[in-house]
Structures are given as C-alpha cells and as structure tokens.
Amino acid sequence: MSEIKKKIAVFVSGSGSNLQAIIDSIESGKLNCEIAFVIADRPCYALERAEKHNIRSVMLDRKLFGEKLSDEIDMILSDAGEISCIVLAGYLSIISENFVKKWNRKIINMHPSLLPKFGGKGMYGLKVHEAVLKAGEKESGCTVHYVDTGIDTGEPIMSMKVPVLEGDTPEILQKRVLEKEHQLLVKGLEKISKEEALKNVKV
C-alpha cells in the first residue's frame, strides 16, 4: 500500500520562489506531500505559479478582511481536509493568536536571517539584510522555525549560513540568502515529515 501523502498549505505574498522550490521538490519525488492550498494576502506572482501547476489557490486581501483574515483562512483550511503543515513562504500578514494556538506546531516560517538575530517586528525582506550589513556581520543566512504567538520567536527547526562578503549590498545578500532558503525549506519539510513518521511508528 502506498503511503498517504501529507497535505500542506502554503501562504504567500510575493513572487513565490519558495513555493516553487516546494513544487519542484514534490514533482521530483523529493518531498512526499501535496499542496492542498496556496493562500495569498494580496495579488502576487505566486498565485500564477499555483495556477500553472493546477494547485487550488485563493487571494484574501488583508485590506478587505482586516482582523477577520485569520478566521477566513481557518474556515478554508478546515474545509480542505486534514492539513498537516502550514508553510509561511514570504507571507507578510500577521496571523492571529487564536489561529496560531489552534494550529500549534503545524505552522512553519522561513526567515531570512540566523535567528534569533535580526528577527522581530519590522524585520522582513530587504530590511533584514540592511540591518545585517549595518551591524557589520561576517555571516548571515536563513532559519526555518515553528510559529508561536511572538514574531520570529518560535522554536528553530533548521538554519543555513552564508558569508557576508565585502561589497555586498542588501540586494546582493538577499539573493545569496534566497538560494539557501529554497534548499532549507525543503530540508525543513523533510525533517518534519520524518519526525512525524517516527512518532506514528507503533512499538
């Protein structure tokens, strides 16, 4: 009997390159899961990637839903069947505390720094890389971590390092880190899947 594929949901706000890394790993057989839903909080290219691969997707504009955004997402995911993992892949909206508690240890986030350094409120996108360079750091990287009710404070799952090189701009460093993000997100999902499989093994 073939193993039942885990269902995941991917939340996006931008180009969706991390989403594409997951899609490619699923199609190559590296990841044994399926993307049940892609959810965006604004119009973005990631939705086009989902459509191209026939993945169900929805755009819930955070400007329209406001504080009800997380409730709306929760209803959609609850109707989608058993979701084993929610991946925040460049998702910029803050999800509610109630949502996080309901989906405890089922939500993971990719952050473009070596947490706990350069995490927290206001630390996203190029702002992270600007802060790294301003601080004179010799290395940076990315971290995939569980989401808790704080901002970038959840338990780390894995991280990957990159050097900070002389002459780096925030844009150059961002590109170097992003290449590692694509690898790390897949490795993080693999690790979670293996840990879940071990928990389900009956002694």
Instruction: Look up tokens 């169900």; give the residue.
Output: 56
Read off the amino acid at residue 175.
K
CB 14 within 8 A of CB 42: no
* Cβ–Cβ < 8 Å for 35, 9: yes
**Cα–Cα distances in angstroms (integers) from residue 44 to residues 47, 59, 99, 133, 187, in the given order:** 6, 9, 23, 28, 25
Q: Please tell me the distance from the alpha carbon of residue 85 to that of residue 186, in angstroms, as a whole number.
A: 13
Helix and strand numbers, DSSP H then E, in the chain:
7, 7
Q: Is 111 a catalytic residue?
A: yes
Catalytic residue among 111, 129, 145, 182: 111
Q: What positions carry a catalytic annotation?
A: 111
